[in-house]
Amino acid sequence: MNNIDKRVEEILAKMSLHEKIGQLNQPQTPLPEQTEKLKEMVRRGEIGSILMAVGATAGNDPQGDISVDFYNELQRIAVEESPSGIPLIFGRDVIHGHRTVLPIPLGMAASFNFDMIEKCYRDIAEEAMNDSIHWTFTPMLDLARDPRWGRIIEGAGEDPLVGASMAKAVVRGVQGDDLTARDSMLACAKHYVGYGAAEGGRDYHRAEISDYTLYNYYLPAFHAAVKAGAKTVMSSFNEISGEAVTSSRKYLTDILRGYLGFDGFVVSDYGCVEQLIPQGLADNRGDASRMALEAGLDMDMWDGCYHESLEKEVESGRLDIAVVDEAVRRVLRVKMMKGLFEHPYCDQHEIDRTEHLARARALARESVVLLKNEGNLLPLRKDTKIALIGPYVNERRSLLGSWTVDGKAEETPTLREEMAKVAGPNGGQILASSASGLSYEIAWMPYALIGCDVAVLAIGESWVVTGENKAVSNISIPEEQIALLKRAKMSGKKVVAVLFCGRPIALEGIAEYCDAILYAWHTGSEAAGAVTDLLYGDAVPSGKLPVTMPRLATHIPLYYNVTSSGRPVNCYYNQNAGNCYFDSIPTPYYPFGYGLSYTTFAYGDVRTEKDAIALDALKAGARFSFTFSLRNTGEYDAKETVQLYIHDPVAKMMRPLRELKAFEKVFVPKGEAVDVTLSVGYDELGYFLPDGSYTVERGKIEIYIGENCLTSQKAEICIL
């Protein structure tokens, strides 16, 4: 038994049942009039953690500034006045930033620069820990294929490898190398599991996920988070095929702990325990509490079920005290790993955020995806006369995106402010109007554009319709903005659209009016600066789509890692044999992995060291390597994310037409070429069977290497 386990046992042995249950109780920040009651509960040892949030949707509603003094006072009461002196752990939704706000996670994923993401989360952890936040409820790892779901913005999109890469980057960034350090927070892999598969994209709704799909699509990111050392997991609201995750021993213990090897503690999502009652699985709060705890759900967020019910459940004999003890051990162990017993208080210090903002801007630049650039309209000359039009010309708050709990809109520069800094000194001119598309603005447009060289439309989707409980049935931008776009195009001017959107939107009826499109997501504190850098060529776009951009909302779900049907129809991979629909062709408007640059790249022929390797050799570590030259054939130094997909044409189970299995973001100076090598081995060439066992089958595997999932650059290997 190691030192931590010893100390845990010593503390546990002295704790009353009441106190043990207190460690499993996480109320939220009280309203001012309830502060004294909360302090009394802390004094009696009835609270283990505080959710630093007010209300069920912290991501959409203002949370107010953090008072470090308040949380230090709560901590002092816990440490000095409660029976066992166990420190509290403070948790908050530091999802994609703190005072410095990074792009929304879906935007960050588009950067495919996970080293940069990790560095940025180190900055965020320093800022948040300096505000008493020991524990953040991030990374959100819900694989999502349905942009109607507002929370698609919080995850890494539709691919398991991108999700796993994000998991590793965020957990390592947030937790650092030393969990006890003053700039390290505890990470929380959420929402375990399958939340992103909500039917119809309707938040909180049921998900129908087979074990085969669960192991191959929804679990890999959580497995990566566990391997990266995540010490907490948050259980999800949803049901999977008749079982609520909250009370499912299969998901919370057998798979999470037995299969994935998770050794930290599980916190419920907000009110999940109590929600077993409306889910029709529990008749009362006592039953709900016992079922959740026995399933493996250690800490109860907000609803107070554990605090009110578990003592009676134990005393009645319905609940074994050993189950309570095990949950308490897990919580105490994590608190000790975080060093809370040695350093319970926040010693706030000044933080110079200059470098944090610089890194946030660099990440924002790499997150933006150039979807279209007819006639190389972009980048613009700095002396260009620009009609800058649209509701996002002077926008601040939406640039930060949903789940911005501590970022300040008033500190966020607007696109107009940033562009004027460049145009002004260079003889350029910005004629700006934050027109939102009202009828007189539409009528006025041609006049506004007289004498301008180009129209830049700053349009998009409000942060308000993204995030939790924000499902929409129409994934688009407001009609008025589309009218602005049309009018600008009809004026005969070249039109650049900067789309500040959270979710992917259906681009049919929008993209056709644009000569160039920068998909800027909600890219955080430095969104406007990053977009300005890209518009004027001080940076070159390098983002790639982590999620499919559909033509129409009615084509959803539409995702790239789909299996083939028995009668090839014309859907994602344009199989030409017939149409899925009589009235439209559901090929993606822009496919997974797609993104342009201001330069062009030429992929050389792929050279494979070996095109056949025995299965045993693969198991022993042998790998297939693919080397090719990547030439920058354009005028700009640039980065390209080269991607390697596999397709197993014949297997025991149906396999996707493409699966991303390796990628690398490569810098290539203009006019030069670099050799790139990507490789795959045993861990990449197989798949999970419905029982969770991993299998690699002998036979041919098709390899596709290129700039997105539709690449036709093909090689073939064989597993002997």
| Burial label, 62 (beta-carbon count in 10 A; 0-12, 13-18, 19+) | exposed
Q: Which is nearer to ligand GLC, 269 or 406 (CB)?
A: 269
Report whether 372 contacts 519 (CB < 8 A). no
To ligand GLC, the closest distance from the beta carbon of 133 in angstroms equals 12
To ligand GLC, the closest distance from the beta carbon of 270 in angstroms equals 4
Q: Which one from 93, 123, 131, 269 is the annotated catalytic residue?
A: 269
- Phi and psi angles of residue 62, each rounded to the nearest 5 degrees, phi first: -55, 140
Report whether 595 contacts 639 (CB < 8 A). no
DSSP secondary structure letters along 110-121: HHT-HHHHHHHH
Nearest to 24, CA basis, from 252, 226, 293: 293
To ligand GLC, the closest distance from the beta carbon of 203 in angstroms equals 9
Cα-based distances in Å from 175 to 138, 596, 708: 11, 34, 32
To ligand GLC, the closest distance from the beta carbon of 134 in angstroms equals 15
Query: Residue 684 interacts with ligand GLC (CB under 6 A)?
Result: no
Binding mask 63-102 toward ligand GLC (x if CB under 6 A, else -) reads ------------------------------x---------
Under rule CB under 6 A, how many of the chain's residues touch ligand GLC? 10
Q: Which is nearer to ligand GLC, 150 or 220 (CB)?
A: 150
Q: Which is nearer to ligand GLC, 219 or 272 (CB)?
A: 272
The residue whose two tokens read 């410095």 is 100
Query: Residue 526 interacts with ligand GLC (CB under 6 A)?
Result: no
For residue 462, give every residue at least 6 positions away whose Cβ sits within 8 Å of its Cβ, in sequence order, or none: 398
| Structure letter (DSSP) for residue 51 | E
The stretch near ligand GLC (CB under 6 A) out of 49-57, 452-460, 581-589, 599-607 is 49-57
Q: C-alpha angle with apex 350: 349 to 354, nearest 5 degrees?
A: 145
To ligand GLC, the closest distance from the beta carbon of 91 in angstroms equals 8
Active site residue 183: no
Neighbours of 35 (CB within 10 A): 14
Residue 138, helix vs strand vs coil? coil
To ligand GLC, the closest distance from the beta carbon of 92 in angstroms equals 8
Give the span between the Cα atoms of 692 and 214, in whole angstroms: 9
- 231-270 residues near ligand GLC, rule: CB under 6 A: 269-270
- 464-503 residues near ligand GLC, rule: CB under 6 A: 468
Q: Residue 455 forms beta bridges with which residues?
A: 387, 495
Binding mask 180-219 toward ligand GLC (x if CB under 6 A, else -) reads ----------x-----------------------------
Q: Which is nearer to ligand GLC, 404 or 711 (CB)?
A: 404
Report whether 45 contacts 22 (CB < 8 A). yes
For residue 616, give every residue at least 6 positions away whose Cβ sits within 8 Å of its Cβ, in sequence order, or none: none
The stretch near ligand GLC (CB under 6 A) out of 50-58, 105-113, 410-418, 618-626 is 50-58
Residue 222, helix vs strand vs coil? helix
Q: Which is nearer to ligand GLC, 190 or 486 (CB)?
A: 190
Q: Give the start-end residues of each E strand in 568-637.
A: 601-603, 607-608, 612-613, 623-632
Binding mask 686-705 toward ligand GLC (x if CB under 6 A, else -) reads --------------------
Cα-based distances in Å from 638 to 150, 277, 440, 538, 674: 32, 55, 42, 11, 12
The stretch near ligand GLC (CB under 6 A) out of 51-59, 78-86, 372-380, 664-672 is 51-59
To ligand GLC, the closest distance from the beta carbon of 188 in angstroms equals 8
Query: Residue 137 interacts with ligand GLC (CB under 6 A)?
Result: yes
Q: Which is nearer to ligand GLC, 25 or 599 (CB)?
A: 25
Give the span between the Cα atoms of 540 and 466, in whole angstroms: 28
Give the span between the Cα atoms of 269 and 203, in whole angstroms: 13
Q: Indicate which single residue of 4, 12, 54, 56 sits in contact with ligand GLC (rule: CB under 6 A).
A: 56
Q: Which is nearer to ligand GLC, 26 or 384 (CB)?
A: 26
- 265-304 residues near ligand GLC, rule: CB under 6 A: 269-270
- Phi and psi angles of residue 17, each rounded to the nearest 5 degrees, phi first: -60, -40
| Structure letter (DSSP) for residue 104 | P
- Phi and psi angles of residue 545, each rounded to the nearest 5 degrees, phi first: -70, 125
To ligand GLC, the closest distance from the beta carbon of 121 in angstroms equals 16
| Interface positions with ligand GLC (CB under 6 A) | 51, 53, 56, 58, 93, 137, 190, 269-270, 468
Catalytic residue IDs: 269
